[in-house]
Structure 1
Amino acid sequence: ETVCRATAPLLPLTTEEIWRGLTGGRSVHLADYPAADQLPADDALVAAMDTVREVCSATSALRKARSLRNRLPLSTLTVVVADPAGLEGFESIVADEVNVKAVRLLAADADEAAAYGVEQKLTVNARAAGPRLGKDVQHAIKGSKSGDWSVAEDGTVTAGGLALVEGEYTLETVAGAADDTTAVGMLPGGGFVVLDTEVTDELAAEGLARDVVRAVQQARRDAGLEVSDRISLIVSGPADVQAAVAAHEAMVAEETLALSVRTEDAAELSVQVARA
């Protein structure tokens, strides 16, 4: 904080000097603001990032619903969308954001996608369709419930042999029943995600090691250590904590800047840090 306060008055002068060196201009403060229409546009990138945000949001909701804390790594996330090629190259971003080991992209029309039990559901709005269809609206409602409905290539929706117009129905994609090892979530823009929720012993140990890292980072702050300070670390806890730290000692040491890591037996998790 002290460093930031001391350098803050100098930053405008520093950025001015960098700008003049790069452009040869008199001053950045005499330059015009850039026009938005002159900046490069990449509609495909924007659309891909919108989908990435939807995927991460839906996956986070599934984690919360299953009480799977964010620091607990999971095995696989399958993303099912109409154009999976549009998300290629973004798998690592999604994996880091939702803490999964692997992200799979799958086309919505693939045979495997159908196995997840995701289907479309048609609901007829009787109040909206009634004035136009009269008594026939009951046939449309019955058709929507019995599966006697379809969507034509031009988007026309028919139920019980009667064509419906926009506003008279709701067409939504619903997830099938999830089981103990998977959770399915829908994407607002179309498609869905399938999260592998099975927690193996290896994943549980890594999650526990990350909990230790969080505890150590808090202990560093409480001790008033600088961000760059190296430490010696003692982790006390039951057998599962000690085993997790032993299995992921390199990660714990790297994340906490610990030059030495030692474990001790205790009923509950606690950490001791000292400047090395």
Structure 2
Amino acid sequence: MLKNLKEFSLPKIEEKVLEFWKSDRIFEKSLAKTKRGKKFVFYEGPPTANGRPGIHHVLARVFKDIVLRYKTMAGFYAPRRGGWDTHGLPVEIEVEKSLGLKSKAEIEKFGIAEFNKKCRESVWKYKNEWERFTERIGFWLDLKNPYITYENSYIETLWWIIQQIAKRKLLYKGHKVVPCEIQD
């Protein structure tokens, strides 16, 4: 793989290694090899693709990757399903800014359905950059089969999980400080 390099260049070596992993399907082979092992479940705490990946995302992903590779090398079957955080306050704020909306009344005048549509569209703005970033740092993650937090199947599953937790009386009422933004 590296014998044909005429000069020592870390970026070129990196590209060759990534190319080898991709062309020889090394990630997929590592999963196939451990398919019968004890399952180690991992769901990526998903990024919001309406913001660019940054250097601060590298560290978190490296730590996740270290754990997952270790578990795989220890014989565990550790599929790595990626996801996309596609709703919530950061998405709404970004869309409000892009549309020049400053209040709840302005959003209602614009139209809730149209505003929601713009939010759903905006979350994919930097998807390609996130995928490239993930590949370049060598984080093996299944992004071909992601979970998407605005899909009904995801939302219904969360409600079902909350229901199961409530049935077991594991929910409790408490207080904590959380960031929020109050709209007129």
Instruction: Give the TM bin, normalised by the shorter chain.
Output: under 0.3
- The structure with higher relative contact order (CA 8 Å, sep 6+) is 2
Larger radius of gyration: 1
Q: Which has the larger strand fraction? A: 1
Q: Which has the larger helix fraction? A: 2
Query: TM-score, normalized by length of structure 2?
Result: 0.24
